[in-house]
Structure formats: C-alpha cells, structure tokens
Structure 1
Amino acid sequence: MAGAEEDVKMPLMEHLTELRTRLLYSTVGFVIAFVVCFYFWKPVLDIVTAPLERACLAQGKPCPVIYTSLIEPFFTQVKIGAFAALCITFPLIAAQIYKFLAPGLYKNERMALVPFLVATPIMFAVGATFLYFVLLPLALHFFVGYQQYANIELMPKIGEYIDLVMKLVFAFGLCFELPVILTLLAKVGIVSSQGLRDKRRYAIIIVTVVAAIFTPPDAISMISLAIPMIALYEISIWLAKSVEKKRAAEEAAATESGTEVTPAS
C-alpha cells in the first residue's frame, strides 16, 4: 500500500479480500449479538422503560406502555435487539476498521490513531449514560406532568417510546464525541487551540441550537445538554493545546538530533 511504512503495494484483489474478511468478522459478531439480545429483549425493555415508570409513579398516575398494532411488539423486539447488538459490537467493528487501515499507515500514525479508537466508544457511553440518568428523567417528568393540568391520561405506545429513546441515545452519544473529533482535527493540523478559542462564541451559539433541536421543548432539558457540551468544548481546547505542545516538543527534539519527524495524520 503506497505510503505505508513497509512501502509495499498490495494488489486490488488482496485489498478486497482483506475488506471481505473484516466485513465478515463484523457481520458475524453483530449477528451473534443480535440473536442474544433478541432473545433477552425483555430485560433491555425493562431498563429502557424504567425512567418512564418512575416519572409516572412520581406523578401518582400509572401510565402503562401499550401497542395498537399486532406487529408492533415484534418489530419493537427487533429494534431493541439490533440497537443493543450495535452498541455491544461497536468496539469489534471499530477494531476491524482499524485493522483494515493499519497496514497503510506509518507506525507513529497507527499509535496516534489508537487513543481515538479507544475514546470513541467510551465517550459515546458517557453521553448515553448522561441521557439515561440525567436528561431523560427530567424530560419524562415534564411530559408526564401534563396529566395534572388536563383531564387526560398518558398511554405511550411501545414503538414510539423506543424510537424516541434510541434517537436520543444516538444524538447524545454523537454530541459527546466532540472532544474526540476536535482533538483528532487538532492532531492532523486542521484546527488549533487558538482557533477554537477565537470561535468560542460561535460554538456556544451552535451548541445552544443543537441542544434545542435534540432535547424536549423545555428549558431544563436544553440547559442540561448545552452546559455539558460547552464544557466538552472547553476540554477540547485544552486537549488541542496539549497536542500542539507535544508536537512542538517532538519537532524541537528532532531538530536537535538532526532527524526528520513524520507528522501524524
């Protein structure tokens, strides 16, 4: 592969064979996880619906989860199985992507990429955990509270509730990838810590808009997402500064020793 540390060109068929192998491992891992999660979907459903049950009990009005279509429970089971399987096998899929790309990278590039691969699922899990334990209970308490102001009762459909939770999990997980993305961009030289500082006011506006889009229409939920994202942006500035200091130290050491440093991409 051109540009690789070994500087060996791999034929197209070998590329395709390697890609097929990595896709096969990822698919087999996902299918196995899906079968397991599909079978044990009830405990996952209990975990997902627990915040809703607590919000209803806090209002003193139980709101049973219902379904209005004969096929809705089955497709809900499929959604839960696929969603849980994707979360479980994401590290495996990321590892297969890395193994496919690694032969075409220099050693220092591979070493620079590993921390980001490790941090990505961790930050996604942090975002999903923040949603489950902080924002989702607040949002559900807000929506369930409408039962107190009118002669209405909440009877949420299981399919719609699962769709809402899955969308929020993905949204919050992606939002919490902000430090990983900005640090990686700083690593390759696309952004700088000073540039992130200069764009701070615009970042706050964008964060506020994103929080308003991804959260329920109440101020508490929006603030609950906006404040952590602003904090993550500030952490990204600090991480970018650390990357720049490390790069400057490596360049200074290389200058003193008279060797050339290959920048990590």
Structure 2
Amino acid sequence: MAKAAPKSPDEMSFLDHLEELRWHLIRSVLAVVIIGIVAFLMKEFIFDTILFGPKKMDFPTYRLFCKVGNFLGIDSDFCADELPFTIQSRLMGGQFSAHIWTSIWAGFIVGFPYVVYEIWKFVSPALHSNERKHSKGFIFTASLLFFMGVLFGYYIVAPLSINFLGSYTVSQEVTNEFDLASYIGSVRISVIACGLIFELPIIVYFLTKVGLVTPEILKKYRKISLVVVLILSAVITPPDVTSQIVVALPILMLYQISIYVSKIVLKRQAKKDAKLAAARSKNN
C-alpha cells in the first residue's frame, strides 16, 4: 500500500498540528535524554571539573579579578587560597538525585541546537518562502546566543555569586556548609537564566513579526528596562557596583540590539507591503 503524502499546513486540522507538535517534542526529549545519558557517564568531568570549578580559587575568573585587583592596588577576596565553605549531601539519595538531574540539564544545554531545530521545523511551514529564506540562520543565531549566555553565566555570574555568598558570614559562630542541591541549583540558575536572557533579540524578532513589539515601544520602556536589569543584576550578583555593571552591560547591549532587530523586521515588512501594493496596482 502506498504511503500517504504528507499534508500541507493549510490542509492540517488542529488535531493534526497537535500530533505534529507531539512528535517534535518527543524527538527533542529523546535527544536530551540521550545526551543526558552520555553526561551521566562523564560524572567526574561534569562535577569535579565543571560544577565544582567555580568553588576553586584557581578558577580563571578568580585569577583574572585577582590580577586586576593587584594592578589597581586593591585588596581582593579573589586572591584567597580557598573559599570558606564546604558542600554536603544530607539526604540518602541526594547525590544520586543530583547526578540524574544534572545529567538531564547538561543534555538540555548541549542539545539546545537540536531542540531549536525541532521547534523551527514545526514553525517554518507556516512561514512564507521569503520569510524562511531570511530566517535560514535562525538555528545558528539562537544557538550562538544561548551558548554565549551560558558561558557568561558560568564564567561571570556563577563565580561572582559563589564567591560572595560562600564568603559571607553574619558571625564567626556560623560556618557555611551548603547542601549539594543548593550549590548545584545556584550554578544551574546562573547558567540557564543567562542563556535564556541572551535569546532576547530572537524573542523580539518574533514578537515584532506578529505585531506585539515595535522599536517605539522598546525605546519608550528603555528606562524601565534599565531599572529592571539593574535590579536583576543586584539579585544574581554580589552587592557591589562593579559586579552589577559587569552583569548589566551585556543585557543592556542585547536590549539595544533588539531595538535594531525590530527596526530591520519592520523595514523588511514595509518593503514587502510596498511590493504587494505595486503588484496590485499593476493588475488593476
């Protein structure tokens, strides 16, 4: 029996779209799980080298800030021999649970390009041919921005937060003994949150396409966005001006880039509308 030809997006019902979405999600989850299994087998590298890297004072970020402090003649906590805290696991299955969930999140981070690819395969049939042509670099751009955010979170946000919170004490009577899940959660939030925040230009691109965002709106709320970014920077970094500026600057740059992206989308849309209007006038 001959295989039925695939339906075009215009011929698909709502249930057909749901079925299509289900298979894209299944393939995405399967890719994350497979990569997660590989990460599970690389336990020593994932935990000792990557996750516990910001706990060690020979971490590249600490060495850099130490050199900057020495150059400026400032006493820096980044030049210490070790961070004054230990990591414990107080639950019977705490370490195994941390191993499982860390592997899954590692699978998501490494497999992000494929997840974006599956999302793009689901969305792209609804676009016009010229829109698909202009969006060929979507997967590469989205993945690049995400990995840039992940690296920024890992090398800047996570070590600044760990260094401050790990060294902070209210009294010499209290020792910092952090739970394994709490430590991993701090690193994970820093990395994933920054990765998603760096997707701002992509989000603005699609919001502009559907008419929910314009450059004027972005400019109008730029001051409010600045306040939000500074508050966000104050929450995820130590309470010193330098750290907040280091985190805030890339986000503000992404916001400005998003304004330019929105302008480009509207210019292309205006050219397209002008061509359609010219074609209609000729036909009339």
For normalisation by structure 2, the TM-score amounts to 0.76
Partner in structure 2 of residue 52 of structure 1: 55
Does residue 18 of the first structure (1) align with residue 20 of the second (2)?
yes
Per the alignment, do residues 27 and 238 of structure 1 end up closer, same or farther by CA in structure 2, a change over 3 Å counting? closer
Amino acid at match of 2:222: R
Number of residue pairs the alignment of both structures matches: 256
Measured after TM superposition, the shift of residue 228 of structure 1 is 1.7
Written as runs of structure 1 = structure 2, the 5 A alignment for 1:29-68 is 29-45=31-47, 46-54=49-57, 58-61=79-82, 63-68=85-90
Which structure is richer in relative contact order (CA contacts within 8 A, separation 6 or more)? 1
Written as runs of structure 1 = structure 2, the 5 A alignment for 1:242-253 is 242-253=264-275
Residues 20-64 of structure 1, C-alpha deviations (whole Å, 9 max, x = no match): 432332232222112111111220112121111126984224644
Distance 2:9 2:204 in 1: 30
Q: Which runs of 5+ in 1 are unaligned?
A: 261-265
Per the alignment, do residues 141 and 213 of structure 1 end up closer, same or farther by CA in structure 2, a change over 3 Å counting? closer
Per the alignment, do residues 51 and 259 of structure 1 end up closer, same or farther by CA in structure 2, a change over 3 Å counting? farther
Per the alignment, do residues 61 and 18 of structure 1 end up closer, same or farther by CA in structure 2, a change over 3 Å counting? closer
Judge which range, 76-85 or 21-30, deviates more: 21-30
Measured after TM superposition, the shift of residue 18 of structure 1 is 3.1
Per the alignment, do residues 38 and 218 of structure 1 end up closer, same or farther by CA in structure 2, a change over 3 Å counting? same
For normalisation by structure 1, the TM-score amounts to 0.80
Amino acid at match of 1:32: I
Partner in structure 2 of residue 208 of structure 1: 230
Amino acid at match of 2:95: P
Measured after TM superposition, the shift of residue 229 of structure 1 is 1.4
Per the alignment, do residues 130 and 243 of structure 1 end up closer, same or farther by CA in structure 2, a change over 3 Å counting? same
Measured after TM superposition, the shift of residue 15 of structure 1 is 4.0
Measured after TM superposition, the shift of residue 253 of structure 1 is 4.1
Q: Which runs of 5+ in 2 are unaligned?
A: 1-6, 63-76
Contact 1:138 1:220 in 2 (8 A): no
Written as runs of structure 1 = structure 2, the 5 A alignment for 1:177-188 is 177-188=199-210
Amino acid at match of 2:146: F
Distance 1:179 1:16 in 2: 28
Amino acid at match of 1:85: G
Contact 2:158 2:191 in 1 (8 A): no
Contact 1:33 1:88 in 2 (8 A): yes
Partner in structure 1 of residue 128 of structure 2: 106
Contact 1:22 1:100 in 2 (8 A): yes
Does residue 142 of the first structure (1) align with residue 130 of the second (2)?
no
Partner in structure 1 of residue 29 of structure 2: 27
Measured after TM superposition, the shift of residue 190 of structure 1 is 2.2
Partner in structure 1 of residue 151 of structure 2: 129
Report sequence identity in percent.
29
1:42 is paired with a residue whose SS is: helix
Q: Output the aligned Cα RMSD.
A: 3.1
